[in-house]
Structure 1
Amino acid sequence: MGFADQRFTVNLSILFTELPLLERPAAAAAAGFGAVELWWPWTDAPVPERSELDALRRAVEAAGVRLTGLNFYAGRLPGPDRGALSVPGEESDRFRANIEVAVGFAESLGCTALNALYGNRVAGVDPAEQDALALENLVLAARAAHRIGATVLVEALNKAESPLCPLVSAPAAVAVVDRVNAATGLRNTKFLMDLYHLAMNGEDLPGVIERYTARTGHVQIADSPGRGAPGTGSLPLADLLDQVRKAGYDGWVGLEYKPGDRPSAASFDWLPREAR
């Protein structure tokens, strides 16, 4: 098997960032890809102007690519302040304001996967209070996503890069998934299996795949260490993705890696064009 048997989608918030946002879908298409995903592009605007939403939608449509994944508002990414839904006050309010906007934008492009990033722990706030707030907001997101037949994704980050995030292991993220599904009864909340973050946490990746693939709604990859393209680190990504497929996952695999000191289009030399 190997990389040629996967379905890849390019994350336009970490790749092709040398280009303006509206040029990135066409650049991904020119590189041979038919699918893209995005973090929430407007880091300071959970509710951007309609004209900005329409311009991005037209850029995706004109490029002829499919939007396969979208983050809800999560603050400034990349960065240590990532995540909003469990942060009391303004950030939680921003997340709630963004829910219908993000779901509506996803629906306009046929996107059925929305990633909801947990927030950092906040000094002076009881973690149990933050977790209760997170559950409330994730329930709201899951119910909104359900109306368009979409899945809400919950992922584990890594402690080295996000030391204040409480979800830094696969079991911690899946426990949140279970709580949301129990609260909604919808079962449309799933685990986002990011092999880079899990590797950075020192987890047993074959064990995670065996245990949690059935609960997984999306997979993302980058090599480790370095968060570069496959082959720049030490992860056996082709073998791990083979295991994911054999465990029953047949969805998209997001390329969420840094291109390094070269143009993004040059960072796909590990993947034959016919396999894109």
Structure 2
Amino acid sequence: MSHQLKYTVNCSLLFAELPLLERPAAARRAGFSAVEFWWPFVAAVPPDRQVDAFVSAVADAGVRLTGLNFFAGDMPGGDRGLVSWPKRSGEFRDNVDVTVGIGERLGAQGFNALYGNRVDGSTEQEQDDVAVENLALAAKAAARIGATVLVEPVSGAERYPLKIAADALGVIDRVQAAYDVPNVGLLADLYHLAVNGDDVDRVIADHAGRVAHVQIADHPGRNEPGTGTLPLDRQLTALEANGYTGLVGLEYKPSTNSDASFGWLPFERR
């Protein structure tokens, strides 16, 4: 890897062979000092003891929590966020303080607000209006701890409307035009962008300054770098050259097991 960017391990996809609360320690043993998670609970507002157990698991492992997703509904069932879902908007809003509260306790700097699928019973306009309000609310809450709300294009979810970087940037533009919230940025998952046919090199050249977080996986397969054909090292090097100084989230499915899947990354680079 020719860039000098630092990595954070997505412990919702990696170390999935272990119970959730054991994964931060496993990441530490593998040589990493930073982890990120999707929403790690079943409910939007979990019991305090569950939140405390999660916070302890991260803190006791000696790793930093760098990022957390807001509650996104039933992900295995196909949900991809509640930000733009009028009927479940209240759940998202109730979740914001819990998510930011965990971030405050563990130093997280980025919160991924998955936009949500298009749903029957609401117009696209209604969904987009709700989303702008909810993203602004989330950004104001995140600003209290100096953190950023992330908006992510996603592949593999037919009814998810943000497919390429331009879609997410358009949403961010709307939020920032309507509300004074500078802390909303693009989550550039180089895998999702490539799968959806975006011109990733052009995105990096034109919009690196608006990228608030990066995630990677190779394609095809969404496995570790080196298993597919994406020019990830070149693209990360270009991001860095264009001023990106943030972290790179390893958000891939290991092709064998988690520990073996880090072979592409020398221990001292972790």
TM-score w.r.t. the length of structure 1 is 0.95
1:175 and 2:170 equivalent?
yes
Q: Paired residue for 1:98, among 80, 95, 99?
A: 95
Q: Would the aligned equivalents of 1:181 and 1:188 in 2 still touch at CA under 8 Å?
A: no
Residue 124 of structure 1, CA deviation: 3.3
1:84 and 2:79 equivalent?
no
Q: Would the aligned equivalents of 2:21 and 2:54 in 1 still touch at CA under 8 Å?
A: yes
Query: Percentage identity across aligned positions?
Result: 57
User: Structure 1 pair 229/64, CA: closer, same or farther in 2 (3 Å)?
Assistant: same
What is the match of residue 44 of structure 2?
A: 46
1:211 and 2:206 equivalent?
yes
Q: Would the aligned equivalents of 2:188 and 2:211 in 1 still touch at CA under 8 Å?
A: yes
Structure 2 CA distance, aligned partners of 1:150 and 1:249? 16
Q: How does 1:26-65 map to 2 (within 5 A)?
A: 26-42=25-41, 44-65=42-63
What is the match of residue 259 of structure 2?
A: 265
TM-score w.r.t. the length of structure 2 is 0.97
Q: Would the aligned equivalents of 1:142 and 1:184 in 2 still touch at CA under 8 Å?
A: no
What is the match of residue 25 of structure 1?
A: 24
- Counterpart of 2:14 in structure 1: which amino acid? L
1:148 and 2:142 equivalent?
no
Structure 2 CA distance, aligned partners of 1:149 and 1:271? 30
Q: Would the aligned equivalents of 2:136 and 2:181 in 1 still touch at CA under 8 Å?
A: no
Residue 83 of structure 1, CA deviation: 1.2
- Counterpart of 1:271 in structure 2: which amino acid? L
Residue 78 of structure 1, CA deviation: 4.7
Divergent runs of 4+, >4 A: none
* Equivalences, count: 270
- Counterpart of 2:251 in structure 1: which amino acid? E
Structure 1: where are the runs of 5+ without partners? none
Q: Would the aligned equivalents of 1:88 and 1:133 in 2 still touch at CA under 8 Å?
A: yes
Post-superposition CA distance 1:206-228 (Å, at most 9, x none): 10111111011000000011100
Residue 69 of structure 1, CA deviation: 0.5
1:36 counterpart SS class: strand
Structure 2: where are the runs of 5+ without partners? none
Structure 2 CA distance, aligned partners of 1:184 and 1:146? 13
What is the aligned-residue RMSD (CA, Å)? 1.1
